[in-house]
Amino acid sequence: MTERNSTRPRAQGSNRMPRRLSREQRRELILRAAEEQFAATGFASAITVTVANSAGTSEAMVYIHFGTKRKLFGGSGRAQYSGACGSIARTVFLDPQPAPSRMY
């Protein structure tokens, strides 16, 4: 009788099974793939199965994480927006120099 897991791919140069991604890691891969897809084709032409393939997962997993294509689009934009806002906030609120002196 063959072992059930014997057909799974192994990491290169290792006898161990590849490690599963955490929920957060999987979500991040999906978001990055979605950002590329939306940037290349726009919202209307983006295809969730293409996003899934680029992220190395199934289309079902995309829907498990985001529910709809619109929420996936919002999530990808929110990730970029929150990164930019955080950067601005750090500059404005954490910089020891008063704002007018930074402008000149």
Domain ranges of the chain: 17-95
Per CATH, the homologous superfamily of domain 17-95 is Homeodomain-like (1.10.10.60)
Closest of 66, 62, 39 to residue 51, by C-alpha: 62
pLDDT by residue (tens digit) across 42-75? Answer: 888 999 999 999 999 999 999 999 999 999 988 8
C-alpha angle with apex 81: 77 to 84, nearest 5 degrees?
145
pLDDT at residue number 78:
62
- Taking each helix axis from N to C end, the angle separating 48-55 and 69-94, rounded to the nearest 10 degrees, works out to 60
- Residue 29 or residue 93, greater confidence: 29
Which DSSP category does 19 fall into? P
